[in-house]
Structure 1
């Protein structure tokens, strides 16, 4: 098919993309030309003897390619008589495109699945063509489309239309690209790898998928949650799921989709609907969560699965992350402790004489258990441990590691605060004064005194 047609008798070019065919001076030109071509067809006149020829690529290459007109689904079309003329309008596949097709077939065959490239599937009176069609387990069919050039979002040849036609005919569309702007499109389930040459894509190595595959993080929306509430409330108390980008090897993605272990999902947020690939376990947990958001779905059993190391050389170009500098070990606590001022004398109502034989487990300072009276050394050590855990958090960049480290920091800080409270109660001291002195002492012992600041005042 072509959009530009050369009329030999009228000696004009006809642009089928325009209503007036590019000639405003002729009224209803399309009806005249189309009626004449239909009359030739009814009288059995061969296409090569009619007045229409391709005025685009074929004419530019010096080839006379006969054409005829037709109307399909309300669209005007000019069709070549010979298939070789039609193929002249199709851009040749690039070496990178062919390398991806070969790699998909090789990865599928290693997993025990059959496939073929450039497969035409009959759909009613027309057909659809798939770059690489993989026959997966349980009758699943996956149509891998390698898109390394520009692709439209609207129209009969757009990504949305082609993916919809494939889904209606039992083919799960899987679109792969190396362009970063496709990662923000949600007209299909896109995956993306780095922009690599053909010989790197085709060789045996670890081709990594950097976009399009995610894991779902299930969490409770309370004060301990790391993610913000998707409903806009401060904390709604419900269970939510948050997708997190995750890396995967391209070969594992091809075999996982064919086996049914990796599935496409549509994840709706407040503003848009996202399409990406997840494991079947995360898909099942998401369905359970959407059915009942009052409780978190059970976590899948991963005791029998272990991460498998790869011995292949990588084909991606990862950026080298800076390793966190080791933190200095806390210095030993000095034996000379700061003296903290005591509170004022208690009122007369509290100064009643103590019984001759106090209750076992209490001391003479108001009924505080002896085992709860923590020494000042332990209080400062607990505060140093909390500060060290917080400094480790500042050097992490991975969201998963930061979540675990933040939990450890909360627990260490809670232990330090409890130690301060017990010490202040045991010694009948002002808790605020105790906490401030302990924080300064912990910072001085660890060598973190700010330059230019005088040492803390010591009351004797």
Structure 2
């Protein structure tokens, strides 16, 4: 491939093998704030975020036609990071004559959108609209399907074609600013959207199966809270490799996939998640990964598991400003600019295979040496009437005898049983720290 491209907006030839991208040859002719770092960010921007004709083949720019055009490609270019041996290089490639999803991708995309709308319309408390546009603080955002319910508004994105991590983050942030919770759907465990925004993974099936009434299971992105004391009789093995056969004696919490829960839970279906995500039965959760605080594990969890998690850690983890750690630094060989179109020539450069994003260490493992701290009793215990117990039990979705008084304020709450909290949310926010 040629090592240079033409930037139509700035009117310059960019040398991809130089660390300054050739900017030093245009001193005084370009904006003073245009640095090699800004130019690199501009030319590697995803196609959907820039004009298609901004980057051109140098051969096409100088002669009006290039080798790629004669073989059915377009003269417009894209720049990506590719690997040659152990080196990470900037490589320019010709775009196809028409950039559009393949027919199978388009059919599956449309079938999933229609299925989401049908699932929502079966419930009177939900409304669903396809291809809806909302205004964020910076720009408009379009969702494939927007489902609104009593819990939240969810913007579903059926993503069967490749997408970059920066694009996922940017579009998700715009959706959040517009009051929409994004939910990205993929069929690949290598998709860049995994753990970069609320997501769900489904099976790779033909569009006919998606459009049918057959069950469509969520294979990744939905988890359940598991907690246990690590003793010799515990059903789960101690996650600490150095622990003895008698366990470490600590308390562990993880978020586990349905099949690995004790007891095992059934997989959530897409149609169920459409309803549960909008009515508040399932909520998005972000848990920092123990291996790297810059990375987060994102998942959908039952609302009661979310409440229990907050009662343990005290407050919602601070949203991360996630950055992808680079695999390696770019390599620049400082070569002379080559303007000849070399489309179709043999090359040892290859795309770096996408790593598996859905990993086994994203379960949000936490270990405590003792039970979470209790709220100091501030209010004297008071008797709770049967009517109050019944009313609060219906509110929290628990049994009547699981209602008790909050030790902080004395108000009736879900105090006992599975999914209970040791104090109400207001008292936890005042007394419990992480």
Of Structure 1 and Structure 2, the greater helix share is in: 1
Rg: which structure is higher? 1
Higher relative contact order (CA 8 A, sep 6+): 2
